[in-house]
């Protein structure tokens, strides 16, 4: 069992009354590892379609893995640029929500986000530490395969560059697979179906947005 599998099962086993059956962990592990080469961003709708899991369960799984002291996933709210020719997804920080504005680096455009409830969507991102480890493992496995198929040849290990997509490093990104994020209304509905929210980070975002709506 590698570090990703261990983390998936460890977080699951620490929680009582998880909102999904343990059998889904195998599919979720497979989805993450297959998707890793394309992007660190993960879409619950894509997971749902590929593994024939209903949308609500898929979203619940993603939310579940944002809610720990050392989460596997970070929840990323974003809006689409209002320029019809741009289509950039602008990820929002707490500062953006507090100030009701976001900046599109592609268009050099400041966008008001006063209508957050209607515009806001959500995706999920592997946290920096687990992403770096998984990428390193992937490169090591690839190198081992090359060496095993080319006896006598010497290769230098590949240099690895990780793009930090934290808010301070890369506020606006446009990965190819970000279409169809989860709406604010849908994700908050699923998050609050039980006695306690599935994801405290999402609950904090919801409370902040609700406060802004009352101002």
Q: How confident is the model at residue 119 (pLDDT cuts 50, 70, 90)?
A: confident
> Which pair of tokens denotes residue 179?
């279409």
Q: Looking at residue 138, what is its pLDDT?
A: 61
pLDDT tens digit sequence for 74-111: 999 998 888 888 878 889 888 888 888 888 998 898 88
Element (H, E) at 32: helix 24-35
Q: Looking at residue 120, what is its pLDDT?
A: 86
Percent over 70 (pLDDT), the chain: 76
Give whichever of 53-57, 125-129, 136-140 has the largest mean pLDDT: 53-57
Q: Is the pLDDT of residue 153 over 80?
A: no
Mean residue pLDDT across the chain: 79
Q: Is the pLDDT of residue 145 over 70?
A: no
Q: How far is CA 164 from CA 40, 91, 127, 130, in A?
A: 10, 14, 10, 12
Q: Looking at residue 87, what is its pLDDT?
A: 76
- Higher-confidence residue of 194 and 214: namely 194
Between CA 6 and CA 132 the distance in angstroms is 16
Do residues 138 and 37 touch, judged by C-beta distance below 8 A? yes
Task: Say which residues have a Cβ less than 8 Å from residue 97's Cβ, sequence separation at least 6.
Answer: 77, 113, 116, 205, 208, 209, 212
Distance from the first to the final alpha carbon of the chain: 50
Q: Mean pLDDT across the stretch 175-203?
A: 84
- Higher-confidence residue of 32 and 136: namely 32
Count Cβ atoms within 10 A of the Cβ of residue 85 and give its class: 0-12 exposed, 13-18 middle, 19 or more buried: exposed
pLDDT tens digit sequence for 9-48: 999 999 888 999 999 999 999 999 988 877 889 999 999 9
Q: Is the pLDDT of residue 202 over 70?
A: yes
Q: Looking at residue 215, what is its pLDDT?
A: 57
- Higher-confidence residue of 96 and 1: namely 96
> Which pair of tokens denotes residue 172?
């606006």
């Amino acid at each position: 069992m590698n570090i990703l599998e261990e983390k998936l099962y460890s977080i699951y086993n620490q929680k009582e009354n998880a909102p999904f059956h343990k059998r889904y962990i195998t599919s979720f592990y497979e989805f993450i590892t297959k998707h890793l080469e394309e992007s660190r961003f993960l879409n619950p709708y894509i997971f749902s379609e590929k593994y024939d899991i209903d949308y609500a369960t898929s979203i619940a799984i993603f939310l579940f893995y944002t809610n720990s002291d050392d989460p596997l996933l970070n929840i990323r709210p974003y809006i689409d640029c209002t320029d019809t020719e741009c289509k950039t997804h602008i990820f929002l920080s707490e500062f953006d929500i507090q100030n009701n504005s976001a900046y599109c680096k592609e268009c050099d455009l400041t966008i008001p986000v006063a209508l957050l409830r209607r515009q806001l969507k959500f995706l999920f991102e592997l946290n920096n530490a687990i992403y770096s480890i998984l990428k390193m493992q992937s490169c090591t496995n690839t190198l081992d395969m090359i060496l095993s198929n080319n006896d006598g040849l010497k290769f230098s290990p590949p240099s690895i560059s990780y793009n930090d997509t934290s808010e301070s490093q890369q506020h606006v990104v446009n990965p190819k697979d970000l279409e169809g994020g989860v709406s604010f209304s849908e994700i908050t509905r699923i998050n609050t179906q039980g006695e306690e929210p599935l994801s405290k980070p999402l609950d904090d975002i919801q409370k902040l947005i609700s406060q802004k709506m009352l101002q």
